[in-house]
Structure 1
């Protein structure tokens, strides 16, 4: 099998710059400041930031390849190098075929041009002939469903509309290699399903897909191999299921090794939260769980004075307003008097039927009346739910919230 993408000892460095794109007035002001600084002693060279560090890997033609890792690991930088948006500082990149890329919302789209003009511009930029582009034009417009604004400047489009236009163009210009970043996360559920089907269609045609996503279930469902990037370096490379497991282990280890801030996580009303940890029901401290698995949250608090019947409430949130799960002493009229000194409280959830993704842990404490906050409602930690058996149906690549945050066993049958 031929190679579609090859990175050979590739590094990418960025030189820190205090300058930014701005108005003419701002640029003139910056010029004046620079002229003044020339008369002053230099503060020394700025340190370069290395986004990728001697990265080597290959992507076979016709395969779906995933790049995963935490924020800031260098994933988007690698995709920009593949798409020739940026050049490497060192090393060599070999690409075999035309690349279609959707890396950021609006990437490759000129805001001052109309949607129609952008389709022609992008197509010609990646090497399509006018005849081939004319043949695909209606198909692109139908896919992005923007015919009603096609002759309006793209700067008047919403973020979702720009995304639809960008993906439609990138995936319909006959790409040999389609490069897709997490940008699809901003699309609505229907559009995400549409994009997923388009990517699957290109794979069936033998095209190559390079995907960056934090949706590990989608990555496992679609990709055969993957790369785990940590701080610009390859931490794991191979079968996608093993790479995902390695990433989960890394996340778990980060939680274990992350030292909690000395002193207080939260403080108020004579009460200090000094530590919060998550555990499996067998007592093992970890922060990655499976859907339906039980969890025990342990709080270490310091009572500076005697506190009568404080009401603790622990919530689990997916980042949107409100809590998905609320475990409150107020609900069951359970409270414990706290004498001065250190105490450990346990909140045990026999089952946590949540869909795979990251969740936040929130805490508040109220006084004996239940009306006054001792510790205000605050985010105090996080956990991740990971499905060891990813879904394989046509909706597997859709956003997790399309099907709701709760995951319970179910079965369909014909009566």
Structure 2
């Protein structure tokens, strides 16, 4: 027997409605903020991610699914969405569009070869947004508002929005130098990854899960002490907008994002629900002011976030929230062998009229068919026998109340819609 690959999952029919509900709601919220959907390929040139995500990141070094295609080109299954969206923005010259900034959202599978954990898979589904073409604290606030609105719209209460500023390029340069000076005397006590990052990307050391308990980690310099005037003012304006919008947040000077292209605003949404798990992060994002140029694009800036639908489902479970996914069948037709041809045509007409309908295909007895209708939670059912066809009338039974109404066959759809 061939089994499912490790770190992946089948979304079975009983779970699929939750996914559909979530994905539809995410798309509607994004559209209400005037974000448009973009769909990019599932695989891209490896160079896109090594340059855009960063050679020093765990994603590029350890987690990417990379292969050589038949043209001897290195290709990678996308590990995240931002780099691909930015590649499309550049390639399709969206910076020349009349409407700016360009506001986009995406939803689809991503792939990372990492250790399987609760709520984390090697193939996972990510919803994300990107606003490209405006460096304005109000845009940052808009993105954070959308993020908070998304989680709140599902009824989640145990939320914590954590924000920080990691400054502009000038601020980060001075800060990185301070980190190298601070960590150099202690680097021998750190893991090999941190030792490798000391001179390539020392900010990534702060994001290390292995060495988080090291004393040198707790005494490390804070980026907020190295922000220049512009970065500090930008951060204050972002917080001012959040206060105006009534969005609660917590500042954490140690928060850095794991990708190389972030500048200024960085943020994470956490779940504080009991039983959610040791890894509390639901979502992360931030502003990127160098990514487009890094990918040979124009000198434009963007901000965005990406959330895992798997972890959103975990948060809903932790807070005991049931989604309103009504998958009940509208109608089940109980058939007889002699009325099968008529039933096939009738059910086709009802489906085209927007009625969720099904029927028996196994020549079961009436009693067995009624049990099937009950298992399917059908709202209505009726028996279609020779007599019903002759009279042109069926006895439509409402399954919850048991009420029976005689209805002309040609009026079934209208009658059900009216009662619904």
- Interval containing the TM-score (normalised by the shorter chain): under 0.3
The two structures have a TM-score, normalised by structure 2, of: 0.26
Greater fraction strand: 1
The structure that has the greater radius of gyration is 2
Greater fraction helix: 2
